[in-house]
Chain A
Amino acid sequence: MGSTNSTLSKIPNVEELMQETGFTPAHIVRLYDRFEALDKEKTGHLRPQDFGAINRLAMNPIGDRIIGAFFSPGQETVDFHSFVRILAHFRPADKKHPKDPSMPEPVNSRTSKLKFAFQLYDQDKDGKISRAELLQVLRSMLEMQVTEEQLESIADRTIQEADLDKDDAISFEEFRKSLEKVNIDHKMSIRFLR
């Protein structure tokens, strides 16, 4: 379609982007429209305020964390490429591609998705989910009625269940192990509109 091509041409390095993320041109165009709709001041970058303008996110207990995940540490803005890269984590996994060990891990593989989820917990990026970090997440996801004691109890038990090396924190491997039985691909994918 004419409009697709014209939109695509506006985006720099779009070929590379598609290659890396696996989105089709139609997907990219859709996402670009969305990006532009969010970027109200047409700066080509998104800031946290722009995400804040999405009303529904305020009603999401981990909405702010997800917004934070878009911004690499130290960065104040998100450009289109990063935007798409993060969203690419949520693409359904491609069943047909054979596992090619020489190629880098595709962005929407199970491991990458898990890493993304891990980073939501691990805010200080030290590779472990400490008790305090877990408490924070739990606090945000549980109703106000739950008291601090109950909260800490839940956190303690969760760590107990998952922590194998007894360091009172959950590393990425332990995290991955605790979610072996969960169908991550199903739980962490959304269907992107063409």
Chain B
Amino acid sequence: MACRTCLWLLGTTFFTCTVRLVVEGVVGSNHSQAGGGHGSSISGIQIVTFKWHHVEAPYLIALWILVAGVSKMVVELNHNLTSVIPESALLIIIGWILGGIIYGADKMQTFTLTPTVFFFYLLPQVILDAGYFMPNKLFFSNMGAILVYAVIGTCWNAATVGLGLWGCWLGGAMGDIDIGLLQFLLFGSLIAAVDPVAVIAVFEEVHVNEVLFIMVFGESLLNDGVTVVLFNVFDAFVSLGGAEIDAVEIIKGIISFFVVAFGGSLVGIIFALLISLLTRCTKNIQIIEPGFIFILGYLSYLTAEMLSLSAILSIVFCGICCQKYINANMDERSVTTVRYVMKVLANGSETIIFVFLGISAIDPAVWVWNTGFILLTLLFIFVFRFIGVFLLTWILNKYRLVPLEFIDQVVMSYGGLRGAVAYGLVAMLDENKFKEKNLMVSTTLIVVYFTVMLQGITMKPLVTWLKVKRAAVTELTLAEKIQNRTFDHMLVAIEDISGQIGHNYMRDKWHNFEERWLCWFLMKPSARKSRDYIFNIFHQLNLKDAMSYVKEGERRGSLAFVRNETKADVDFNKKFRASFSEIMPDIMADNMGPDHVPLSSILQDIVPSVCLDMHEQDLTMRESEDFNAHHLLQQHLYRGRKQHRHRYSRSHLETNRDENEVQEIFQRTMRSRLESFKSAKMGVAPAKKIQTKHQKKDKPQKVRGEGTFSPFLHVRPHSHPLIGNVMCMLCNFMLCHF
């Protein structure tokens, strides 16, 4: 394995080396050829010419993307390595190697991460991906805390780092550098921001609980609003000079924060509306539907940038707000396309960003070493982050329903990683105004490396270590395991019933508003209909089935047939196909549209096979003695809602196991409710519990929306076999549409 890795690495470096040399050689020869060509007349027709300059720019771009892709491949070769060192760190190392090669060949760093390329071509897709896949409910329910961390936390970080460094400079710890308070504050503001790219890259390996993740992640996205403002304000202040700053300017600065932040979000929301409206009308051009999402997302970014508002906030909110509507409006295949392309672009961008972060370092021209400055910066960002997070959490916990634990706070502080955004901002500084720009660039690079690499590598062990200290050492008994899970489910249920978490007045109001107005406006009529369609059908089929049972009972003389316990393979197909064919036309008439699967084929698929023979069970019970009950529990217990991991992952598109689970539970609950409905209505005594084997639904479908069901009666734990099976057939049909 190791030799393969080495081989690949060597291969890549040789490849790039060769390319560089070839290119250089060709460039050289082309020059001479061009020169020669000028002097003398053309000797004859050239059959083949080497037109490097013709393709130089796109070729280099494509080549670099290829190199980044190959680097990622190299990195992913060894899984043991990637589980210890996060991918981003390895990519940076590869960047160093490549940078070294290029520098060796060129004696200067021809390829660096320029701010333009970064901010316009590499960052938007990463953020769009973040916004589009954002777990909205989680995000908005923790919005308050996230905002506190993003705004107040970032301001705190910026202020403390800036002032701290300034104080130390005054104290002489940094020697003699040409810098002032404002420049320190500017530097503080750009180094203070937690970086979304780095956070995702590192947290992807470390599976923390979803609340913690959304806190750090949300903070990293929303703090752009603050960063942009602080950066621009201090930049302007530096240009104005210290003397011009008075109260007016400061007030303007504060106002600009609100304008930038809310303006950016507003731009994003407007574009989200545009996207949703557009997808509403794209029924005839489904093949290029996905393109609109990306273009409009990008436009929202650029528009906000044009208006000097927060571009990141804009594209994030664009992604967040349009998710639901475009998923409902667009064709299944378009949705899949969007999801995959989003991931490809984001992954690719991230790889390129990290590789170039590595390459940019190999450039002696930018390196200025000032021990005091660098070490103090590292110290301050680390320490003040911890202090800031703990302070804010202490205040927040007084108002939060579920307090953030100590461990979570530690991880949150430790996870405040700085990344490419800081580098991009620092590279944008004007050398004339900032004499010490190179020093700042060097420091930023070192900070980025420190956080991404060191903190990235140690994050996982830290998390494991902290948890291990608290976890129980002894193995839980079966009863405890089952009971723990029961408790989780119980708590979730009680929370739902008592309305403690989640439902509050504002949220309900928003839901109603959204259901009434927004869905009407933004969703395709057919998408809207399918949300309510189920419940109408449900009701209809319910009634029809009740009637068919009565009919069957009358035909047979009594309903005693349902109590028959001898081995009877009831062929539902034959029995009920007839009655269903009555039902079918009615449903078909209800405007099913061309893309809906006809009822009959669905019913054929899901007629369950019924085995009413109980005796067979006894024989096959307990065959394997070495059967691991614990293992089974581990595998198959339903996870409660709290444990559903909203795993935001850069590389995994989950066909959400949670959705399958939820769907399964939902089906069973509905089934049992219908069964008791049936038994209550029929007045039939429930028979002994009989095992049935149900056909598994193999293709998971998305759970669309939540609605209210028509009333249910008493829930009784006994199940009624035959009626139950018919009901579950209907249920399956119904829930196919979810």
Residue positions of A touching B, CB distance < 8 A: 31, 34, 37-38, 48-49, 51-68, 70, 76, 87, 90, 117, 120, 123, 132, 136-138, 140-146, 148-150, 152-154, 156-158, 161-162, 178-179, 181-182, 187-188, 190-193
The residue from A65, A146, A158 contacting B636, defined by CB atoms under 8 A apart: A146
Cross-chain contact A143 with B664 (CB below 8 angstroms): yes
Cβ contacts under 8 Å, A48 to chain B: 712-715
Whether A188 touches B487, Cβ cut-off 8 Å, given contacts A34-B498, A55-B708, is yes
Whether A52 touches B711, Cβ cut-off 8 Å, given contacts A60-B496, A66-B493, A142-B636, is yes
Chain A residue nearest to B472 (CB atoms) is: A181
Whether A149 touches B668, Cβ cut-off 8 Å, given contacts A68-B715, A188-B490, is no
A149 to B627, CA, bound (A): 11
Cross-chain contact A53 with B672 (CB below 8 angstroms): no
6 residue pairs bridging A and B, Cβ less than 8 Å apart: A55-B706, A55-B708, A65-B717, A67-B497, A141-B482, A142-B636
Whether A161 touches B479, Cβ cut-off 8 Å, given contacts A54-B497, A143-B661, is yes
A193 to B495, CA, bound (A): 11
Chain A residue nearest to B627 (CB atoms) is: A153
Cross-chain contact A87 with B498 (CB below 8 angstroms): yes
B120 at interface by CB-CB < 8 Å: no
Cross-chain contact A141 with B629 (CB below 8 angstroms): no
A182 to B192, CA, bound (A): 43
A21 to B494, CA, bound (A): 16
The residue from A37, A182, A188, A192 contacting B480, defined by CB atoms under 8 A apart: A182
Cross-chain contact A190 with B500 (CB below 8 angstroms): yes
Cβ contacts under 8 Å, A153 to chain B: 621-622, 627, 629
Cross-chain contact A61 with B622 (CB below 8 angstroms): no
Cβ contacts under 8 Å, A161 to chain B: 477-479
Expressed in whole angstroms, the minimum distance between the Cβ of B144 and any Cβ of chain A is: 14
Selecting from B61-69, B98-106, B689-697, the interface stretch reads B689-697
A146 to B508, CA, bound (A): 38
B402 at interface by CB-CB < 8 Å: yes
Cross-chain contact B497 with A149 (CB below 8 angstroms): no
Cross-chain contact A179 with B709 (CB below 8 angstroms): no
Interface centre among A37, A76, A142 (most CB of B within 10 A): A142
Chain A residue nearest to B494 (CB atoms) is: A90
Chain B residue nearest to A47 (CB atoms) is: B711
Cβ contacts under 8 Å, B41 to chain A: none
The residue from A52, A90, A152 contacting B491, defined by CB atoms under 8 A apart: A90
Chain A residue nearest to B706 (CB atoms) is: A55
Cβ contacts under 8 Å, A120 to chain B: 486, 490
The residue from B484, B623, B669 contacting A63, defined by CB atoms under 8 A apart: B669
Cβ contacts under 8 Å, A140 to chain B: 668
A48 to B490, CA, bound (A): 17
Chain A residue nearest to B498 (CB atoms) is: A87
A146 to B634, CA, bound (A): 12
B43 at interface by CB-CB < 8 Å: no
Cross-chain contact B636 with A182 (CB below 8 angstroms): no
A58 to B696, CA, bound (A): 19
A73 to B528, CA, bound (A): 42
A56 to B622, CA, bound (A): 36
Cβ contacts under 8 Å, B484 to chain A: 182, 187
Cβ contacts under 8 Å, B508 to chain A: 37
Chain A residue nearest to B623 (CB atoms) is: A149
Interface centre among A38, A51, A58, A123 (most CB of B within 10 A): A58
Whether A60 touches B482, Cβ cut-off 8 Å, given contacts A123-B717, A148-B617, is no
B window 7-53: CB within 8 A of A: none
Cross-chain contact A178 with B477 (CB below 8 angstroms): yes
A34 to B641, CA, bound (A): 21
Q: Other than A31-B498, A53-B708, A60-B493, give 8 A-B pairs with Cβ distance below 8 A.
A: A63-B493, A117-B487, A141-B489, A146-B636, A178-B477, A190-B495, A190-B500, A191-B402
Expressed in whole angstroms, the minimum distance between the Cβ of A7 and any Cβ of chain B is: 14
Expressed in whole angstroms, the minimum distance between the Cβ of A56 and any Cβ of chain B is: 5
Chain A residue nearest to B719 (CB atoms) is: A136
Cross-chain contact A60 with B492 (CB below 8 angstroms): yes
A193 to B501, CA, bound (A): 8
Cross-chain contact A182 with B483 (CB below 8 angstroms): yes
A87 to B495, CA, bound (A): 9
Cross-chain contact A59 with B482 (CB below 8 angstroms): no
A144 to B668, CA, bound (A): 9
Interface centre among A49, A55, A136, A143 (most CB of B within 10 A): A143
Expressed in whole angstroms, the minimum distance between the Cβ of A46 and any Cβ of chain B is: 10
Cβ contacts under 8 Å, B496 to chain A: 54, 56-57, 60
Cβ contacts under 8 Å, B251 to chain A: none
Chain A residue nearest to B708 (CB atoms) is: A53
Cβ contacts under 8 Å, B670 to chain A: 58
Cβ contacts under 8 Å, B487 to chain A: 117, 187-188
B678 at interface by CB-CB < 8 Å: no
Expressed in whole angstroms, the minimum distance between the Cβ of B619 and any Cβ of chain A is: 10
Cross-chain contact B402 with A61 (CB below 8 angstroms): no
Interface centre among B402, B486, B623 (most CB of A within 10 A): B486
Interface mask (B609-638 → A, CB under 8 Å = 1, otherwise 0): 000000001001111000101001100111
A117 to B485, CA, bound (A): 12
Interface mask (B207-234 → A, CB under 8 Å = 1, otherwise 0): 0000000000000000000000000000
A42 to B632, CA, bound (A): 46
Cross-chain contact B664 with A144 (CB below 8 angstroms): yes
Cross-chain contact B712 with A52 (CB below 8 angstroms): yes
Cβ contacts under 8 Å, B492 to chain A: 56, 60
Chain A residue nearest to B714 (CB atoms) is: A48
Expressed in whole angstroms, the minimum distance between the Cβ of A119 and any Cβ of chain B is: 11
For the complex of A and B, list the 7 residue pairs with the smallest distance between their C-beta atoms, beginning with the closest. Answer: A49-B711, A34-B499, A55-B706, A66-B493, A52-B712, A187-B487, A64-B715
Cross-chain contact A141 with B490 (CB below 8 angstroms): no
The residue from B501, B633, B641 contacting A154, defined by CB atoms under 8 A apart: B633
B666 at interface by CB-CB < 8 Å: yes
Whether A162 touches B489, Cβ cut-off 8 Å, given contacts A48-B712, A152-B621, A157-B629, is no
B466 at interface by CB-CB < 8 Å: no
Whether A62 touches B493, Cβ cut-off 8 Å, given contacts A145-B696, A179-B483, is yes
